[in-house]
């Protein structure tokens, strides 16, 4: 949909995807290929090595800079992607927590990769039951951050206190979304898409990442859906079919969470999957002069 809009409007595409920021994570993230990006450049893709961290706060800073750049060059900032936390961080800001401690973060991440999230969540529950009660046992990122803050002697925010504290972005925001027409069709398309990824070399892509020798499952990049399941399968010597089934289950669960997130965001307008519907909503949002500058239509 973003590409269809970019054909009709003077857009600056900004990726809102927590996995596409990492170089080398291409097939499993459905990253736009070089030819497509040559025609329609995407900001915030391939800006980090998989061994580095990239946080919601980093995204907010970078996205605001890209939005300012778009406005300065007379283009429409069009943010596209599926990482809900990034969208919330952009709009609401993040609480002003202390920066991560790299050595402590790595030690906790390695322990998390070795033990899994449930024992680490149990540790958090023993230390701060009120915090653990607000963090899902499988939410690796927040478990890790909470344990890090406790080890550093800081208070841990709970619930929506993770969000808020920074200034609101200096932009009016139009929030548009698509939802699948049916669960059955969604599941069929997810399976078809994942099979295509496996044919393209998804497993081999993960094998190349493992072969580097400096990456591990505690890193944010390798929490991406599909990558973790294949990595774990390679470590166990699992068959391709088992890795596929585990990745398929994880992808369906991710889609379910994304749909739940969208339905819990009343500010989003759910539109039919037609470019004209999106163009009409954007046209109503913009002034007549703005539309004339941004649209390829006459007048």
Tokens representing residue 191 in the block: 């399976």
pLDDT at residue 161 above 50? no
CATH number of 1-94+163-178+270-299: 3.40.50.300
E strand spans, 219-298: 269-270
| Average pLDDT, integer, range 103-117 | 85
In the chain, where are the structural domains located? 1-94+163-178+270-299, 102-161, 180-267
pLDDT of residue 299: 36
Q: Return the CATH number of 102-161, one of 1.10.287.70, 1.20.120.1200, 3.40.50.2300, 1.10.20.140.
A: 1.10.20.140
How much is the pLDDT for 282? 96
Q: Which range among 146-155, 200-209, 210-219, 284-293 has the greatest average pLDDT? A: 200-209
What is the Cα–Cα distance from 202 to 28, expressed in whole angstroms? 6
Count of C-beta atoms within a 10 Å radius of residue 128: 19
Buried b (16+ CB within 10 A) or exposed e, 215-235: bbbbbbbbbbbbbbbbbbbee
180-267 topology per CATH:
Helix Hairpins (1.10.287)
Q: Which of 85-99, 194-208, 247-261 has the highest mean pLDDT?
A: 194-208
Q: How far apart are CA 232 and CA 243, in angstroms?
A: 8
pLDDT at residue 65, rounded to an integer: 96
Q: How confident is the model at residue 137 (pLDDT cuts 50, 70, 90)?
A: confident
């Amino acid at each position: 949909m973003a590409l269809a809009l970019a054909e009709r409007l003077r857009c600056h595409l900004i990726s809102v995807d927590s996995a596409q920021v990492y170089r080398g994570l291409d097939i499993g993230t459905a990253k736009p290929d070089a030819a497509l990006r040559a025609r329609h450049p995407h900001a915030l893709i391939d800006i980090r090595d998989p061994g580095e961290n990239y946080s919601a706060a980093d995204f907010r800073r970078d996205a605001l800079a890209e939005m300012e750049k778009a406005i300065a060059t007379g283009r429409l900032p069009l943010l596209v992607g599926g990482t809900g936390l990034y969208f919330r961080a952009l709009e609401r800001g993040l609480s002003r927590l202390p920066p991560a401690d790299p050595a402590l973060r790595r030690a906790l991440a390695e322990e998390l990769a070795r033990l899994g999230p449930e024992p680490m969540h149990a540790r958090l529950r023993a230390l701060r039951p009120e915090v653990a009660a607000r963090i899902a046992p499988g939410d690796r990122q927040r478990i890790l951050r909470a344990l890090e803050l406790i080890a550093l002697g800081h208070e841990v925010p709970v619930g929506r206190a993770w969000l808020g504290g920074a200034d609101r972005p200096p932009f009016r925001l139009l929030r548009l979304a698509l939802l699948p027409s049916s669960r059955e069709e969604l599941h069929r398309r997810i399976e078809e898409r994942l099979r295509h990824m496996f044919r393209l070399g998804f497993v081999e892509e993960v094998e190349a990442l493992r072969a580097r020798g400096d990456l591990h499952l505690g890193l944010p990049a390798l929490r991406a859906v599909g990558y973790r399941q294949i990595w774990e399968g390679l470590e166990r010597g699992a068959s391709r079919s088992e890795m596929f089934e585990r990745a398929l289950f994880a992808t369906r669960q991710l889609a379910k969470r994304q749909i739940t997130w969208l339905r819990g965001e009343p500010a989003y307008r759910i539109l039919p999957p037609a470019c004209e519907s999106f163009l009409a909503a954007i046209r109503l949002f913009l002034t007549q002069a703005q539309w004339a500058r941004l649209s390829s239509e006459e007048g």
